Amino acid sequence: MSSPRRATKDALDRAAKAARASRTAERPAKPNAKAANAANSAEAKRVAAAIARGIADGRLDVLSAEALQTVIAAACRLYTARREAGEQFMPVAKNSLSATDVMVTASGLLRAADLAAFELGMWQGWTGR
């Protein structure tokens, strides 16, 4: 026969185990991270293709200005986070944009952040990026 203290501990252990099991049963299964990443990547590629088709067809209103700003801001934040986490890749594939595309977008990004090209050059010098 076990001591009252041991019996109480065993009862508490069984109750805790039962509570964990019921929480696990009630909790919806977590989606597979790889599957979610693949789905998000596929959706992003689908949107990019729709934008490219719109440009080719002369439909520049394929996204509203607000939606385009949201997409660019999210892409900038994600790229920055991944670079700061140590990943090394360019934000776009080499030769996938014209020099004009890069300059117009970079100028717009600098203006949106109230920065000048001089400040960008200083930052690059300090950080080596």
pLDDT value of residue 36: 84
Look up residue 128 and give its DSSP letter.
Answer: -
pLDDT along the chain (129 residues), means of 10: 61 69 60 84 95 95 96 95 94 95 95 92 87
User: How far is it, in rounded angstroms, from Cα 62 to Cα 75?
Assistant: 18
Per-residue pLDDT, 55: 95
Q: What distances in angstroms separate CA 45 from CA 9, 16, 48, one per listed residue?
A: 56, 46, 5
Contact predicate 91/78, CB 8 Å: no
Inter-residue contact 55 to 62 (CB < 8 Å): yes
pTM for this entry: 0.69
First to last CA, the chain: 71
